[in-house]
Amino acid sequence: MAWTATATLCCRLIRLPSARRPPPSRARCFATQSPDAVDKEYADLNLRPLYTNRGQHLRIRQHVNPLSSSFSEPTEPPDWKEVFEDPLLPLMVDIGCGSGRFLIWHAKNSGQRRNYLGLEIREKLVERTQFWVNELGLRNIYFMFANATVSFEKIISSYPGPLSLVSILCPDPHFKKRHHKRRVLQPPLVDSITKNLCLGGQVLIQSDVLEVAADMRERFDGYSDILEHVDCVDKDLHCDNEGWLLDNPMGIRTEREIHAELEGATIYRRMYQKIRDASH
Ligand SMILES: C[S@@+](CC[C@H](N)C(=O)[O-])C[C@H]1O[C@@H](n2cnc3c(N)ncnc32)[C@H](O)[C@@H]1O
């Protein structure tokens, strides 16, 4: 699994009651040294049996090249009335959502106050997550097979409700300098996220690779007239001296986060909040 190579106000938007929050990451890391750690973390979703019963065995490519011609055209937005029960609810978008468990967990536990959209470039993952969503009967979550780098603007600008939260969690690092252009977070995507976020809307970035986290941070820090870095999510969760959040504010870890912490890695996280529109 190893890679080769301020507002207190904001916390109301995404923080869960402390009872649902995991203990500090480090403590957890050593408590769950098991290959089944992901299944354990998401045990209440009980997703694996659902797919096994269908008799499908999933063979998923480890990586795809987002710069290949097959991913160069933006994906068309869905008919939002078809995919969400209430398409006017605030929307959370998870970019590069992987297996989708993280977002499904939120959709199931949200009490329908928000819609959830996962964007993922590996089609088979999306087929499986959408199968899970249908089996669970959830009407506040949808997964799309899309290259988020080129499709985000077209998809999200058509959503009828407010964009309240965007997460980019442990994106593929593409370590080699000549491959940095394959990273999902490119300047037009940062621009589109910043523009489409509603006032008070938030961005959460995280990576277990410091260089990748710093790259994303530099891009969002460049919008400091519009986006404010959230130094303190609440009294229990603030940043270290370097400006990285000391713990996970989301109530559950992503799959990559679980594996990285099992390996003893540090997760670098940062949150932003939109404080004004660009035109002001
Ligand atoms: C390392 S995984 C992390 C998945 C998940 N966020 C997590 O933390 O467990 C990165 C994911 O981003 C997806 N991805 C990479 N480039 C993408 C792009 N341009 N658009 C959408 N998804 C992308 C990959 O297919 C992969 O599933």
Q: 183-240 pLDDT, tens per residue?
A: 999 999 999 999 999 999 999 999 999 999 999 999 999 999 999 999 999 888 999 9
Query: Rounded to an integer, what distance in angstroms lies between the CA atom of residue 139 and that of residue 112?
Result: 9
Strands 268-274 and 197-207: antiparallel
Q: What percent of the chain has pLDDT over 70?
A: 82
CATH (residue range 7-58+77-274)? 3.40.50.150
CA of 64 to the centre of ligand 1 (A): 10
CA of 71 to the centre of ligand 1 (A): 14
Q: pLDDT at position 80, please?
A: 98
Please answer whether residues 14 and 249 qualify as being in contact, where contact means their C-beta atoms are separated by less than 8 angstroms. yes
| 260 has a pLDDT exceeding 90 | yes
| 157 has a pLDDT exceeding 70 | yes
Please answer whether residues 244 and 256 qualify as being in contact, where contact means their C-beta atoms are separated by less than 8 angstroms. no
| 32 has a pLDDT exceeding 60 | no
Q: pLDDT at position 31, please?
A: 42
* Contacts of 119 by beta carbon, 8 Å cutoff, 6+ apart: 93, 94, 95, 96, 97, 143, 144, 146, 148, 151, 152, 155
* pLDDT band at 111; cut points 50, 70, 90: confident
Query: What is the rounded (10 degree) CA torsion for 64, 153, 193, 181?
Result: 40
What's the half-sphere exposure (Cβ side, CA atoms, 13 Å) at 114?
23
Q: Distances in Å between the alpha carbon of 38 and those of 3, 83, 108, 149, 258?
A: 17, 27, 17, 27, 7
Indicate which residue's Cα is closest to atom 11 of ligand 1: 96
Q: pLDDT at position 110, please?
A: 80
Catalytic residue (choose from 36, 44, 172, 240) = 172
Q: pLDDT at position 163, please?
A: 98
Lowest mean pLDDT among 57-66, 119-128, 173-182, 257-266: 57-66
Indicate which residue's Cα is closest to atom 27 of ligand 1: 98
Q: Domain coordinates of the chain in residue numbers?
A: 7-58+77-274
Residue-wise burial string across 60-80, b where 16 or more C-beta atoms lie within 10 A, e elsewhere: eeeebebeeeebeeebebbeb
Which of 163, 231, 218 minimizes the C-alpha distance to 11?
231
Ligand 1 pocket mutation, candidates 67, 103, 120, 150, criterion most atoms within 8 A of CB: 120
Query: Rounded to an integer, what distance in angstroms lies between the CA atom of residue 27 and that of residue 47?
Result: 26
Tokens, residue 90:
């605030």
Mean pLDDT of 74-103: 97
